[in-house]
């Protein structure tokens, strides 16, 4: 009788193990997917803050270098495009364009000493540097979350659970370069 109970126990354990593994893996994938959503929301907050800084930056530059219409128009259009982006792929391209336009605007500022001497421009530039630093940190966290989610989704049993639950890999958030180069250059005084 004891032998029969032991055999029945092993059979029950063998039958339940795949179910437990399936449920645990599914829960882990859902948690990792949620972490990706949360991390992307953090990036989104910082990108919106950067978007809010752009009009002030454009107006400040326009006051000194209004004849640089192409660059001012380019950054304004890039901001508008990013704000109306409907899919993550379109959003990513729009954010890359904003970063390029900000670089062009900051390069332009170097040609205007009166702009660099402006305290308002210096404040906006410092705020933009801080925003870019926060975007970079948030993007790294998001990309780590995407990497962990992707690795779990590609490994067994995650690959099987992912197919059954129709879970897809996520793309990392990459702006094409590490960060916008808007930091103040090192000043050397002799």
**Tell me, what CATH number does 161's domain have?**
1.20.1440.20
Let me know if residue 6 belongs to a domain: no
Q: C-alpha angle with apex 170: 74 to 160, nearest 5 degrees?
A: 165
Let me know if residue 184 belongs to a domain: no
What pLDDT is recorded for position 69? Answer: 84
Torsions phi, psi for 40 (to 5 deg): -70, -35
Please compute, for residue 98, the number of CA atoms within 13 A of its CA located in the half-sphere on the CB side. Answer: 29
Let me know if residue 151 belongs to a domain: yes
What is the spatial distance between Cα 50 and Cα 53, in angstroms, rounded to a whole number? 5
Let me know if residue 177 belongs to a domain: no
Q: Is the peptide bond before 157 cis (omega within 30 degrees of 0)?
A: yes
Query: 172 near 146, Cβ under 8 Å?
Result: yes
Let me know if residue 188 belongs to a domain: no
Number of neighbours of residue 126 by Cβ within 10 angstroms: 13
Let me know if residue 181 belongs to a domain: no
What pLDDT is recorded for position 179? Answer: 47
Q: Digits of tens for pLDDT over the chain (190 positions)?
A: 888 888 888 888 888 989 999 999 999 999 999 999 999 999 999 999 999 999 999 998 888 887 788 888 999 999 999 999 888 778 888 998 998 899 888 888 888 888 888 899 989 999 999 999 999 999 999 999 999 999 999 999 999 999 999 999 998 988 765 444 455 554 545 5
CA 45 to chain centre: 10
Let me know if residue 190 belongs to a domain: no
What pLDDT is recorded for position 51? Answer: 94
Let me know if residue 170 belongs to a domain: no
Report how many domains make up the chain.
1
Residue whose structure tokens are 């929301």? 41
Determine the number of helices (DSSP H) and then strands (DSSP E) in the chain. Answer: 6, 0
What pLDDT is recorded for position 180? Answer: 45
Q: List the domain range (segments joined by +) for residue 149.
A: 15-165
What is the spatial distance between Cα 135 and Cα 126, in angstroms, rounded to a whole number? 14
């Amino acid at each position: 009788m004891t032998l029969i109970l032991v055999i029945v126990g092993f059979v029950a354990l063998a039958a339940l193990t795949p179910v437990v593994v399936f449920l645990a893996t599914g829960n882990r994938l859902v948690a990792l997917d949620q972490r990706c959503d949360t991390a992307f929301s953090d990036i989104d907050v910082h990108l919106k803050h950067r978007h809010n800084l752009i009009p002030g930056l454009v107006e400040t530059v326009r006051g000194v270098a209004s004849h640089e219409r192409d660059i001012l128009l380019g950054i304004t259009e890039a901001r508008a495009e990013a704000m109306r982006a409907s899919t993550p792929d379109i959003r990513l391209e729009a954010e890359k364009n904003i970063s390029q336009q900000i670089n062009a605007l900051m390069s332009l500022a170097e040609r205007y000493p009166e702009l660099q001497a402006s305290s308002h421009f210096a404040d906006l530039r410092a705020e933009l540097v801080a925003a870019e630093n926060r975007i970079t940190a948030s993007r790294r966290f998001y990309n780590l979350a995407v990497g962990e989610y992707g690795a779990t989704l590609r490994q067994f049993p995650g690959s099987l659970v992912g197919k059954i639950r129709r879970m897809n890999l996520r793309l990392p958030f990459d702006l094409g370069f590490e960060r916008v180069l808007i930091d103040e250059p090192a000043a050397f005084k002799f």
